[in-house]
Amino acid sequence: MPNRLTDALDFQAQALSLRSDRQRLIASNIANADTPGYVARDMNFADALRDATGGGAAAGRMTTTSTGHLALNSGTDADSTLKYAAASQTNLDRNTVDMDRERASFADNALKYEATLRFINNSVKTMVSAITGQ
Amino acid sequence: MSMLKIFDVSGSAVSAQSQRLNVVASNLANVDTVAGPDGQAYKARQVTFQTQLMGASGAAGVTVSNISEDQTPGRRVHDPNHPQADADGYVTYSNVNAVEEMVNMISASRSYQNNIEVMNTAKSLLQKTLQLGQS
């Protein structure tokens, strides 16, 4: 019974953790905007969330289909949804950080992080009001 | 809490950019220097940035890998009465290009501001996370 009470929270908690991972990735890109040779990275959020919540393997991901296969460890799992960004304009120092794109992604991700926080807050409020019955 | 790593990442970028700003300041200060501490004309310095991995996957900070000196010959001005003039009456000034340095300064200060803003956003998000389920 307690499981069913917090099932809805689990999904949002996974989303929140992935959002903070993506926020860190974008912060790294912005920090390395002037580093020669740096290649920007980003996350395919939909795939990463599907992976994290066990909603079926994402396209192009490795799965074990036989008992003879080596098990995937969770460390490489998280990296499989990370992608490298292509340069939007060619750069002499081979840096592929597009500051406009990164700033937009950063703002977008911050907003969605807050939205997830609000979802969790409201679920908690709903549960508390159901428990207290007032 | 992977978001706390943002402060490490952006903090390293801010300190790298401030070092770059420092180098620009010393270049601009020495734009008209005739002789440096070694008796030679001042040579413009430039920082080189390098990515620094910070443990967790995807977290990449910045570090200054080295500070190099520009080896192009300095500006030569004919002024025989100058105490530093050579046998032909030429004085060698520093090879600092003031326009280049100004552009470098603007770029460094914009990057600095960007990283500060990233830290501010991360801070406000973390504060809201700490208040989760309270209100």
Select from A21, A41, A103 the Cβ nearest to the Cβ of B2.
A21
Under an 8 A CB cutoff, do A33 and B114 touch? yes
* Residues from chain B contacting residue A14 (CB–CB below 8 Å): none
Q: What average pLDDT is seen over chain B?
A: 89
What is the ipTM metric for this complex? 0.83
pLDDT at B48: 93
Among all residues of chain B, which has the CA nearest to that of A79?
B57
Task: State yes or no: pLDDT of B116 exceeds 90.
Answer: yes
- Of the candidates A23, A33, A43, the beta carbon closest to that of B111 is on A33
- Give the pLDDT confidence score for residue A52 in this predicted structure: 81
The lowest-confidence range among A3-17, A66-80, B30-44, B87-101 is A66-80
Nearest CA in chain A to B115: A31
Query: Which residue's entry shows tokens 């002024």?
Result: B79
pTM of the model: 0.82
Q: What are phi and psi of B49, to 5 degrees?
A: -90, 150
C-alpha–C-alpha distance, residues B89 and B107, integer Å: 39
**Contact (Cβ atoms closer than 8 angstroms) between residue B80 and residue B91:** no
Q: Which residues of A touch B12 (CB under 8 A)?
A: 31
Which of A12, A20, A126 is the best residue to mutate to test the B interface, defined by the most B CB atoms within 10 Å of its own CB? A20
Nearest-Cα distance to chain B for A121, in Å, is 5
Alpha-carbon distance of A10 to B116, in angstroms, equals: 32
The pair phi, psi for residue B45, each rounded to 5°, is: -110, 155
Question: What torsion do the CA atoms of B62, B67, B72, B74 make, to the nearest 10 degrees?
Answer: 120
CB contact under 8 A, A38 and B17: no
CA A32 – CA A34 distance, rounded (Å):
5
What residues does B66 pair with on adjacent strands? B48
Tell me which chain A residues have a C-beta less than 8 angstroms from the C-beta of B57. 75, 78-79, 82
Question: Which of the residue ranges A65-79, A85-99, B43-57, B88-102 would you say has the lowest mean pLDDT?
Answer: A65-79
- Whole-number Å distance between alpha carbons of B7 and B29: 32
The torsion angles phi and psi of B95, rounded to 5 degrees, stand at -95, 25
Give the integer Cα–Cα distance in Å for A43 and A27: 13
Residue of B nearest to A32 (CA): B62
Tell whether the model's pLDDT for residue B11 goes beyond 60: yes
Q: What confidence tier does A16 reach under pLDDT thresholds 50, 70, 90?
A: very high
Q: Which amino acid is at A48?
A: A
The answer on pLDDT for A25 being more than 50 is yes
> Which of B3, B50, B111 is facing A20, going by the closest CB pair?
B3
Q: What is the pLDDT of residue B68?
A: 93
Q: B9 and A20: CB-CB below 8 Å? A: no
Contacts of residue A44, defined as CB under 8 A and 6 or more positions apart, other chains included, come to: A58, A81, A83
Beta strands B45-53 and B60-69, pairing class: antiparallel
State the pLDDT confidence band at A44, using cuts at 50, 70 and 90: confident
Question: What SS3 class is residue A131?
Answer: helix
CB B16 within 8 Å of CB B49: yes
- Residue A60 pLDDT > 80: no
Question: Two tokens at A80?
Answer: 């499989």
> If you measure CA to CA, which chain B residue comes closest to A75?
B57
Q: Which residues contact A10 (CB under 8 A, 6 or more apart)?
A: A53
B29-84 residue pLDDT tens: 999 888 766 778 889 999 999 998 887 667 889 999 999 998 888 888 898 898 88
Q: Provide the 3-class DSSP secondary structure of residue B51.
A: strand
Q: Which residues pair with A43 in a beta bridge?
A: A82
Q: Say yes or no for a CB contact (<8 Å) between A27 and B6.
A: yes
pLDDT (0 to 100) of residue A76 = 47
What per-residue string of b and e applies to A102-124 under the rule 16 or more CB within 10 Å gives b? beebbeebbebbeebbebbbebb
Q: What is the pLDDT of residues A93-127, one digit of tens each?
A: 888 899 999 999 999 999 999 999 999 999 888 88
